Amino acid sequence: MSEVTDQLEPEQALEADLETEEALDSELVARRDEALAHVRKFGDPILKTKARPVNEFDAALRAEIERMGGLMRDALGIGLAANQVGVLNRVLVYRVQEGAPVAALVNPEVEWRSSMQETAEEGCLSLPQVHVDVERPVHIRVSAQDGFGAPIVIEASGLEARVIQHEMDHLDGVLILNRTSREQRKEATRALREWQFRAE
């Protein structure tokens, strides 16, 4: 409880806490909606466009990474690729654990994939209200660069591996709709058309 609610009767304190929680929730929703307004959605041709390798590791690139990380956090996402925010650079950011620092990969390349595959449901900030089953390798090793151009290697498993592969797909102009079954793709496309109609 806050210092104010400590001085109230239990019922009043509970009401005050609920009001504070609702205010926080509405702030969170407003921040999420504002962030999502910057994310390109289904139908935007940039989502099907292959991003270009980054050659300039300057302050502008690091500012882009910082902006992407902020948008991803505010949108309550766990990964974001540059072309999702209208920039055709091979840059992605992700964070799979609450409170962990945002990781950025520039010019990522998969060096190795495990033969072991796993199917799990995936959603996407660019495909509102869509969740489809996608099969991906469970373990991967990725080489990339950081915002200063220094080489890095990531060995990832489970959710981290899935998120990196999802975002790397974006950099190649590939959506989860291209990775799922025909039935789920048809259902998801119908849901997206309905969402577009309501949004207009």
What are 143-199's pLDDT values in tens digits?
999 999 999 999 999 999 999 999 999 999 999 999 999 999 999 999 998 888 887
Confidence of residue 22 (pLDDT cuts 50, 70, 90): low
Going by pLDDT thresholds of 50, 70 and 90, the confidence category of residue 73 is very high
Which CATH number applies to 38-199: 3.40.50.720, 2.120.10.10, 3.90.45.10, 3.40.50.850?
3.90.45.10
Side-chain-facing half-sphere of 80: CA atoms under 13 Å: 28
Answer whether residue 16 shows pLDDT above 80: no
Residues β-bridged to residue 152:
144
Which of the residues 167, 187, 194, 200 is marked catalytic?
167
Q: How far from each other are the two terminal CA atoms of the chain, in whole angstroms? A: 42
Q: Is the pLDDT of residue 5 over 80?
A: no
167 is catalytic: yes
C-alpha 42/C-alpha 193 separation (Å) is 9
CA 159 to chain centre: 12
Rounded Cα distance, 200 and 186, in Å: 21
Total-model pTM: 0.86
The predicted structure's pLDDT at residue 28: 87
Is 119 in contact with 129 (CB distance < 8 Å)? Answer: no
Distance CA 164, CA 117 (A): 15
**pLDDT tens, residue by residue, 26-49:** 888 899 999 999 999 999 999 999
d(CA 107, CA 90): 5
Q: Which one-letter amino acid corresponds to residue 120?
A: A
Task: Provide the pLDDT for residue 23.
Answer: 54
Q: Can you count the helices (H) and strands (E) in the chain?
A: 4, 7
Compute the distance between CA of residue 82 and CA of residue 88 in angstroms, rounded to an integer: 6
Say if residues 103 and 117 touch (Cβ distance below 8 Å): no
In this structure, how many other beta carbons lie within 10 angstroms of the beta carbon of residue 197? 8
Q: Check pLDDT > 60 for residue 14.
A: no
**Displacement of CA 20 from its chain's centroid (Å):** 28
% of the chain surpassing 90 pLDDT: 79
The pLDDT score that the predictor gives to residue 143 is 98
